[in-house]
Amino acid sequence: MHQRVVDELGRRIVGSAWEPGDALPVEDVLAAEIGVSRGALREAVKALESKGMLHVRPRTGTRVLPAEHWNHLDRDVLRWKQAGDATALLRDTGELRRIVEPEAARLAARRAGPDDVRALHDALAAMEAAAAEPGRGGGYVEADIAFHRALLDASGNRLLGSLGRAVDIALEHSFLVSTQTPGAAAASLPGHRAVVAAVEARDAAAAASAVLAIIEAAEEEIAQSPALPASDDV
């Protein structure tokens, strides 16, 4: 019940049902509209306040905050953005990857230990197995996410590792779109192999270059993907 109410309010905010600065309807009215108790509504409002989406102030009511206040790495916020503005989320994800992943690959080439390299190999093997079996697109995406998360972990920077886990939903959305182009999954494997080889060889420049090539190829696949509406421009 709690998550249902949080989702309902969150989707409305992301979907601009209420604009920044707008006050939410009176508690009794909103609770009756959603079909929940006032207590359940209050708990949901607290959850959204913690995500930076609402501001509660005595006597002035609960108001919607501008998007720059939101926690855009929050898993719920990412889900709502995926449903409400998929194109913007794809763009933001691509830009974040360009900023973060090449440097993470450089660090991984310098710092990765045997367990880190093994995790990359395991994820790559899972990607290869999924790509070899038609109809396992979901399995490929899951393995691809594991690969890029392992790369961030291999950087030895705990903040980067946490970032990878925080943006799982954004990566999943991006990979699901990019791999819809026929042959895209198999075509991405050489680039991922190049990343593993560069990390093992301790070649930081090659690792960064290989990751950037993967990101650029994914952006091209997204632009051509049948999963992307024709009117969207990423």
Compute the residue count for the chain: 234
Task: Encode pLDDT of 91-109 as tens digits.
Answer: 999 999 999 999 999 999 9
d(CA 19, CA 65): 8
Task: Encode pLDDT of 129-183 as tens digits.
Answer: 999 886 655 699 999 999 999 999 999 999 999 998 888 888 988 988 888 877 8
Q: What is the CATH number of the domain that holds 213?
A: 1.20.120.530
Query: Is a pLDDT exceeding 90 seen at residue 184?
Result: no
Residue 138: the pLDDT is 65
Structure tokens, 166: 């925080």
Q: Domain ends where: 39, 69, 99?
A: 69
DSSP 8-state symbol, 64: E
d(CA 181, CA 232): 16
Task: Write phi, then psi, for 77 (nearest 5 degrees).
Answer: -60, -40
Q: Which structural domain range is residue 53 located in? A: 2-69
> Is the residue at 188 inside a domain?
yes
Interval 189-196 mean pLDDT: 98
Contact by Cβ (8 Å): 133, 87: no
Count of domains for the chain = 2
Same domain, 118 and 11: no
Closest CA to 11 of 61, 82, 65: 82
